[in-house]
A and B are shown apart, each in its own frame.
Chain A
């Protein structure tokens, strides 16, 4: 079963981190990614650029509406994701809990709809 692991956190907090803290965080994410790969559950993932770079598109009545910013303003922002393949939700939650940002942000875990193209 494939799950997407969505990493939410405060962009403001990320932006104001000191250089050593940023390096520390990247080191932790590198280690986490390696663990996922080593366990054979990693199917993909990436950090995302901040929501200030986001653009939202809607097509209404055949007309394209393009607006600046993310789909919704929220307290915590989507900062990255992993795609993992594990036996069940319990295993997915175990991996999500190990994500470095679980300690100060929120990790949303959702199953991929079965039959979806990979």
Chain B
């Protein structure tokens, strides 16, 4: 029990400590190695000697000592920077001055999500440094061999050092553009958790939780950013439906058939609150619009109470700011609910002819659903066949097979 409490404490304090160490040493690898040692020592020392008064400062001091030691061993020929030992001795009093510590985590976030790093590397580094996941945990989350993940992290850290990606929060004129990148990296983590493309489970609650943790961090560190709040609201509102989205056997349950009583009310309330704050800032954006759509679904106690007109209007706004075939497909499905299946089908047929979604199983699946509602069973069956030929995840496959079977 105590070990778990210490684990949790290390995980909570860790990102701040590590981010500070990276700034202090200017060396990602060295900081990480020293940090690992400090965490291991904490797990060993704290149960015996009790918790230190300031765990973060304790970890920082131990890690810095270790870092100096490592520096010496790596380059015995290079004299230590003057003042380093003094700084080491003096650190405990200054290391938890709040504003600077917060800057460090923000710096770390913008550095690991730098667009000069591949998205998979950004995700890996963010989970590793800001969520405190081990390489093995990341490998498991992304269903890849551990050496693959490790290799990617090593390469990314090497690029940060060798191409000299700065350890800083971007200048004001670049902040909006860079924040967009950070948010989209976080959303990628959430999406893989929310409907996994591979693996035994369709929903990966662990990834959803880590994405929400990162989303909260951005909102906390960059207060007043409406889109960051929009993304957090969106993730909370989606996550609230998690328990209802799959049946006991793991089959996907579509929105209209979900047991709405098991939706997480606390998460819906929090998501709605965060969204209200964001919208009040008067700077609309795609995450806020998607969150607003999710909020309208969450608000409907029964499926037939869903405000489809309002949802169609929001998709219209979303299409104007971020046009794309997947948004169009969702918009077409909403139009079908608001104005009848024929209207939705016509739009989906245009999408199909454009070829923009070739190979995407959800287009024929959506067409099949509308044809089914219209009683056009033969065409629906053909569309389910097309979807089944493309679908990858077994949980979605089982759902499509069930629907096809119900056509009789």
Question: Is A111 close to B, CB under 8 A?
Answer: yes
Number of chain B residues whose Cβ lies closer than 8 Å to a Cβ of chain A? 9
Question: Is A1 close to B, CB under 8 A?
Answer: yes
Cβ-closest 3 pairs across A and B: A88-B166, A88-B164, A89-B163
Contact A90 B165 (CB under 8 A): yes
Max chain A C-beta neighbours (<10 A), residue from B116, B164, B166: B164
- The majority secondary structure among interface residues of chain A is mixed
Task: Give A1 to B160 CA distance when docked, in angstroms.
Answer: 13
Question: Is A87 close to B, CB under 8 A?
Answer: yes
Number of chain A residues whose Cβ lies closer than 8 Å to a Cβ of chain B? 8
- The majority secondary structure among interface residues of chain B is loop
Question: Is B162 close to A, CB under 8 A?
Answer: yes
Question: Is B170 close to A, CB under 8 A?
Answer: yes
Task: Give A90 to B163 CA distance when docked, in angstroms.
Answer: 10
Which residues of chain A are near B163, meaning CB under 8 Å?
89, 110-111
Q: List 21 A-B contacts (CB under 8 A).
A: A1-B164, A87-B164, A87-B166, A88-B164, A88-B165, A88-B166, A89-B114, A89-B116, A89-B163, A89-B164, A89-B165, A89-B166, A90-B165, A90-B166, A90-B168, A90-B170, A93-B116, A110-B163, A111-B162, A111-B163, A111-B164
Q: Kindly identify, within residues 92 to 115 of chain A, every residue whose CB is under 8 Å from any CB belonging to chain B.
A: 93, 110-111
Max chain B C-beta neighbours (<10 A), residue from A90, A110, A111: A90
Q: Kindly identify, within residues 62 to 110 of chain A, every residue whose CB is under 8 Å from any CB belonging to chain B.
A: 87-90, 93, 110
**Least distance between B78 CB and chain A CB atoms (Å):** 14
**Least distance between B164 CB and chain A CB atoms (Å):** 4
**Least distance between B166 CB and chain A CB atoms (Å):** 4
Task: Give A1 to B162 CA distance when docked, in angstroms.
Answer: 10
Which residues of chain A are near B114, meaning CB under 8 Å?
89
